[in-house]
Structure 1
């Protein structure tokens, strides 16, 4: 547009068009010098033979000059002018070229303060456009004296403006590409985080399924340090009696400040994250110390600082009617918690709570089973001339029970004048479960009852009587057993009469360490196909100072070695330790030969003490 004296001032609203302003921002150009823009401004100055060349971008409140050549100070340093000083705004608003020979005589521009302050007299400007044709600014040539612009001047300026617009569009494209790349990276990051969260939850759900104790649950929660959450501190506090919160000890997080009173055991009303989460049954989270301090008293603030934490989350462990405690996670740096993070923590706390409930039930079951087992096993009697000890180890570590037994009972004499007898037995019910333990309890009691009813009968008769009763009552009990009667002789020694129903042979160690394997045995009990066969009794003399050792096959039989090898190892061990106390002998035998036996283990040692006078009577 060449000199239109009747032109009215253009309105400014079009300068504030949001799309145009966003495009300006996307170029990344500011009032700072830009080498490419400065080069184009310099070419304008040289090719049009003018003192000033500018690349001007018109913003809502100012024009910036990322490309400039020949502009006087202070504007050369500022590289920006208010819109009141801008000729280029007219180009942007009109979206057309503007050429002015003498601005001092122009009815629109003559009042522009750029004339006296910048020395602008003659002006020609061509629009700079984006990829959609929107005008972002102008490429302009300025003279400090009146000048008539020719069509050649405009053609040159248009060619340079076209090159400058191309550079602007490239920058817009790079910005858009960078933005899309950023969006893609953010999306990939979000997808990775989502995948990691899913993996964490899947791993947690799988890991918590194999927990059976509170310690197991504690360990699984502690493993969160290696997940996508990566807390630097993990703790669990459980609600106990009298509304007291008790921290669960964790070897992975040794007790420090939180192990001292009042932090290890505190009232549910305490102002602590775990107590609040448990009491109010809601998740509480603090992204930094400032937010934590706002809700907690000085003591709690000191605790968090002593632990080196700046961000904390506590999630309740939900129970049937109320929270049973809380899990707390801490980080050494401030952390912003996304809703997905809090959801994941809440979900993991739910898994932990379910596992704790299961652990409580299993613990109750284990306690009952242990009590049942102890009730079914014998408290060994005190017998003059003998010292006894027994050790029992179940194969099923979950149940703490099994089908093996040991027993010792003083039997009565029919006429009250006969030689007192001590009946000792070990046995093995087929199976290693609570069901086997239940059957074992009945079998042991029935064998003892049969021995009591037949005190003068040999062990074989007692075993036969038990088998007859078991079959008649449909007990369905099957296994092995050794039943022995220990008689005090008129001299200094003892006589042992025994019957073996398919059980590992008893061992007698003489005072000098010589071992005898009492290998005579008959068939197992509980099998109808052999029930018609007669059982036999065997007899041996035992001198004072000897050791009788009874055991079950779990002590000597293992998958990776032959039974004879296990028996030889036992004989060798007993030869070395036979002079020790029975309690020590059974512990050394079980711990040394069968620490992880897949079968139930019984070890029963009887020491025949040196004679201190004949006629001693077992105490029942």
Structure 2
């Protein structure tokens, strides 16, 4: 195999033990390049080396414990993956793996390191020069080499160029691995965001006897971060039920923490107070005490009960867009008196407003992602917001639709206005009294 003493010793087959090093093999596999087709990024570098040095052949080679795989091969008639590899013992590359140093041979048949190598004659190796391709951790992945059929000296400037091109190959591999790791991290973050977001929204609205309820959350286009929009519908006590829509300032984990605190505080306080304003004041106190005015939220909260005539309830808004009621005949009216947003001030000004729903009437809660929706920047035409007027018109158009149909219709109306692109997240929650038959 040649008269080279490898620092880490040799395997029983006479090849360097470094070929079988688990860390090195893991680094080779991590490139994702073994058994892959040729690519211009590597072929171009090999072609440049062959042209500049005048050598007939140039290779970008990855070496595992049993073979040398040519990711790029110039001057060799090899197309399929099976043709672009040789047993590791038939390649000079194991010298580089064993020593971690360059190998420069001017006369392969006479050089004591290579004259007994089994490939010198069959592969017509007259001269060979190569540099190791290194992983970020220093492991030798393979070699970048040129091969001449005849013995020849290698000019110093050619060797310098080969060293530079070997680093370029390593840089290309490192960049791909970094991009792959970043993509994997983004996908993991997105999955975590979706899981966390789902945990902050009720998986299904609890059925209310005699009423219809539906909700939907519409994420921003391309958004994968956790957002602060939330809604809930739950039983408080006795005949009383509660529905809430909220919007926490900002995105991410911190917004999620505030969202979670808000949801669970509202559920706990709802069992103690019928007044929505009283419940929201308790939420404000909890946010101010526990979060130190670092992040605010807006909310609209309603407490209601069913009656022989339909629904009777109270509603309070805290810095949030007003609720909308669609009467059975199609008329839409605003409900709610503007109040202080929550989590910033120790004292807030909030007011309860009474409302009633008759058969066929529907109450809509929403976040400002619906009213502030506009076409994507650069889209031809005006970029006007959908606005409360657009939302009210779409709600008025919900003839004979149940709660689920209303939510679907509004979502489609917003999407039609924006061209399917959304700059912010949107939540919708509808409560409807079915018409009498």
TM bucket (normalised to shorter chain) is 0.5 to 0.7
Alpha-carbon shift at residue 599 of structure 1 (Å):
3.2
For residues 161-310 of structure 1, the aligned pairs below 5 Å read 229=44, 284-287=71-74, 290-292=77-79, 295-296=82-83
Match of 2:390 among 560, 569, 572: 569
User: Structure 2 vs 1, CA of residues 387 and 294 (structure 1 numbering), >3 Å: closer, same or farther?
Assistant: closer
Please list the CA deviations of residues 484-516 of structure 1 after superposition, one character each: whole Å capped at 9, or x if unmatched.
12311123x112310111211111112222211
SS in 1 for 2:227: coil
| Aligned residue in 2 for 1:369 | 193
Larger relative helix fraction: 1
**Relative to 1, partners in 2 of residues 1:345 and 1:322: Cα closer, same or farther, differing over 3 Å?**
closer
Q: Who is 1:168 aligned against?
A: none
1:382-393 equivalence runs, <5 A: 382-393=207-218
- Conserved in 1, the CA contact under 8 Å of 2:42 and 2:72? no
Contact 2:288 2:344 in 1 (8 A): no
Asked if the contact 2:316/2:353 (under 8 Å) is kept, the reply is: yes
Question: Which residue of 438, 446, 451 maps to 2:265?
Answer: 446
CA offsets 1:80-117 (integer angstroms, 9 cap, x no match): xxxxxxxxxxxxxxxxxxxxxxxxxxxxxxxxxxxxxx
Instruction: Give distance in 1, aligned partners of 2:355 and 2:262.
Output: 26
Cα distance change, pair 396–589 in 1 and its aligned pair in 2 (3 A): closer
Q: 1:423 aligns with which of 218, 235, 242?
A: 242
Q: Post-superposition shift, 1:438? A: 2.0
Q: 1:545 to 1:347 in 2, by over 3 A?
A: same
CA shift, 1:465, in A, is 1.9
- Inter-partner Cα distance in structure 2 for 1:317 and 1:381: 59
Map 1:69-148 onto structure 2 (within 5 A): none
Give the equivalent residue in structure 2 for 1:585. Answer: 409
The answer to whether the 8 Å contact 1:552/1:603 transfers is yes
Give the aligned partner of residue 489 of structure 1. Answer: 307
Q: 1:361 to 1:495 in 2, by over 3 A?
A: same
Structure-2 residue corresponding to 1:543: 358
Distance 1:598 1:432, change over 3 A: farther
Rounded Cα–Cα distance in structure 1 between residues aligned with 2:421 and 2:334 = 25
SS at match of 1:445: helix
TM-aligned CA distance change 1:225 to 1:284, over 3 Å: closer
* Alignment partner of 1:458 is 2:282: no
Shift of 1:547: 2.4
Shift of 1:290: 2.6
Tell me how far apart the structure 1 counterparts of residues 140 and 331 of structure 2 sit (CA, whole Å): 64
SS of the equivalent of 1:453 reads: coil
Give the structure-1-normalised TM-score: 0.43
Decide whether aligned partners of structure 1 residues 293 and 483 sit closer, same or farther in structure 2, where only a CA change above 3 A counts.
Answer: closer
Query: Which position in structure 1 is the counterpart of 2:432?
Result: 607
2:361 matched to 1:524? no
Distance 1:429 1:444 in 2: 11
Instruction: State how far apart, in whole Å, the 1-side matches of 2:340 and 2:327 are.
Output: 28
Counterpart of 2:323?
Answer: 506
Q: Is the 8 A contact 1:395 1:432 kept in 2?
A: no
* Partner secondary structure for residue 250 of structure 2: coil
* Secondary structure of 1:382 counterpart: coil
Q: Structure 1 369/278 Cα, relative in aligned 2: closer, same or farther at 3 Å?
A: farther
| Structure 1 residue 432 displacement after superposition | 2.7
Q: 1:430 to 1:322 in 2, by over 3 A?
A: farther
Change (3 A) 1:229 1:291: closer
Q: Does 1:378 align with 2:195?
A: no
Tell me the CA shift for residue 402 of structure 1: 0.8
Q: Tell me if the contact between 2:323 and 2:335 (Cα under 8 Å) persists in the aligned partners.
A: yes
TM-score (norm 2): 0.59
Shift of 1:295: 4.3
Mapped to 2, the partners of 1:317 and 1:574 lie a distance apart of 63
SS of 1:403 mapped into structure 2: strand
Shift of 1:346: 4.0
Task: Supply the distance in 2 between the matched residues of 1:545 and 1:318 (Cα, whole angstroms).
Answer: 69
Q: Distance in 1 between matches of 2:225 and 2:414?
A: 16
State the 1:423 CA deviation. 0.5
1:342 CA displacement: 6.3
Asked if structure 2 preserves the Cα contact closer than 8 Å seen for 1:578 and 1:585, the reply is no
- State whether residues 478 and 527 of structure 1, in contact with CA within 8 Å, keep that contact through their aligned partners in structure 2: yes
> What is the root-mean-square deviation in Å for CA atoms of aligned residues?
4.1
Over 3 Å counting, the alpha-carbon distance change for 1:465 and 1:358 in structure 2 is same
State the Cα deviation string for residues 278-311 of structure 1 (Å, max 9, x = none). 99797632336733469439xxxxxxxxxxxxxx
Residues 342 and 552 of structure 1: CA distance in aligned 2, closer, same or farther (over 3 Å): same
Select the structure with the greater relative contact order (CA < 8 A; seq sep ≥ 6): 2
Which structure has the greater CA radius of gyration? Answer: 1
Gaps of 5+ in 1: 1-223, 232-272, 298-315, 325-337, 414-419, 613-620
Provide the rounded CA distance (Å) in 2 between the counterparts of 1:544 and 1:230.
75
Residue 303 of structure 2 is aligned to residue 478 of structure 1: no
Match of 1:554 among 360, 363, 369: 369
What SS does structure 1 have at the residue aligned with 2:322? coil
How far is 1:407 from its partner? 0.8
Deviation at 1:381, TM superposition (A): 1.2
